[in-house]
Every structure is written in structure tokens, then in C-alpha cells.
Structure 1
Amino acid sequence: MEELTQEEWVSQLENDDNAVILDVRTDAEVAEGKIPNALHIDIHKGQGFIDEVEALDKNKNYYVYCRSGARSGKACEIMEEMGFDNAYNLLGGMLEWEGDIE
């Protein structure tokens, strides 16, 4: 897992044709707004989270975020254990996000 600042995350994401943005927050948090085009899989779903992540393409690059960066860091660790090579955690999460929100 690589931890990226918002600037690094956005810069790398903009130049990545193989990118997937992954939001691991709760439904209630997502209802308050999310990064555009983000796929939502709540890490609190436990095995449900594992099952949904298992269905994802392991050849993609995943840019993962949550509210503060803690849950997304854990999600990146889980994904790496599952065989995902490229999972990037957004340090500071939505609390520090200054980009677009939908």
C-alpha cells in the first residue's frame, strides 16, 4: 500500500488510465457527498466488503479513501492480502479533501 497526500493522489490519478476510485465509507457518509465517479463499498460490511472487493479487477489501480484515511488504509491492506498490487490510500481522507464532490 502506498499512502499519498491529496496532491500526489490527484496528480497520479489524473495520469492513470487504469484507475478506479474506491470509497469505503458508510452509506450515511456517502450521502453527504463523494468524490465524482467513486465506486462505493462500505468496509464495515465485513465479509460483504471482502466479497465485493474479490469481484473487482485486480489489474486496475485503486485509489481508496474514507473520512480520515484510517479505514481506507485498512482497506488497502486487505486488498493487498487479496492480491491487489496497486492500492493507494488518500491521507487525510474527506476531512482534508479540497477537490470536487458530487
Structure 2
Amino acid sequence: MSIFKLLFGGFSKNPHVTVLSREDYKAQLSKEKVQLVDVRTPAEYKTGHIKGAVNIDYFQSRNFKEAFTNFNTEEPIYIYCRSGNRSRKAANLLSKLGFTKIYDLQGGILNWK
């Protein structure tokens, strides 16, 4: 087994998830009304969020999947968290829920400011 697989578990890149730089993310959000989700906790969300973002707490796993039932899986969805870790996990979960165009903010909200 290669050292890469030992260290990283041999993860393959999810073809439905694109990590965007802050500049590209901002450019995409400015084009049109988008499905924008902040996956941080409500307390984190209250400290500041991207305008128009809906807060769906990733840690509320029971309700997290259900919260996306009203979203359109055919439309792109933009997600972010604090640093990029939770949103990466959330993106993979959204892919399993049928979303095919998932855009994640590189570095999370820390990179946005």
C-alpha cells in the first residue's frame, strides 16, 4: 500500500464537488440568485455570514439531510463553513443526496473576510 493511501485513506476526488477560490466564489455569487448554505452552527452564523446564506448546521446530522429536501438538486449549490473542513464533508453528503453541482468555498468564511 502506498504512503499516500496510508496517510489519506486513498480518497478519490468527488466529481460533483468543486472547491472555488474566494475570488471565483464571489464572482459566481454575484451572477445570479443561488442556493447558498452556511453549514456552521447557529452561534457561528450569528457572528457573521455571507449575505443571502441559509444556515443549516452540519452537526445536526438528524436534521441536516432533511433540511435539504426543499433545495433543487438540479441547480448548483454553494456551501461554506468556518475553514473548509465541515463544508467538504457536507459536500460529499450532498453528493449522496443527489446534488451534482456543489461549490465549496476554499478556506471557508475565514478566507472570505
Larger mean CA deviation between 47-56 and 29-38 belongs to 47-56
Supply the AA of the counterpart residue of 2:20: L
Find runs of 4+ consecutive structure 1 residues off by over 4 angstroms: none
The alignment yields a C-alpha RMSD, in angstroms, of: 1.2
Identity fraction in percent: 35
1:60 Cα shift? 2.1
- Structure 2 unmatched ranges of 5 or more: 1-16
**2: CA distance between counterparts of 1:19 and 1:31?**
21
Q: What is the TM-score when the length of structure 2 is the normalising length?
A: 0.80
Structure whose alpha-carbon radius of gyration is higher: 2
Partner of 1:60: 75
1:78 Cα shift? 0.5
**1: CA distance between counterparts of 2:104 and 2:70?**
20
Q: How does 1:19-98 map to 2 (within 5 A)?
A: 19-98=34-113
**2: CA distance between counterparts of 1:6 and 1:60?**
21
Is the contact made by 2:35 and 2:71 (CA closer than 8 Å) also made in structure 1? no
- Structure 1 unmatched ranges of 5 or more: none
Q: What is the TM-score when the length of structure 1 is the normalising length?
A: 0.88
Supply the AA of the counterpart residue of 1:51: E
- Aligned residue for 1:2, secondary structure, equals strand
Partner of 2:19: 3
Supply the AA of the counterpart residue of 1:40: N
Aligned residues: 97
Partner of 1:12: 28
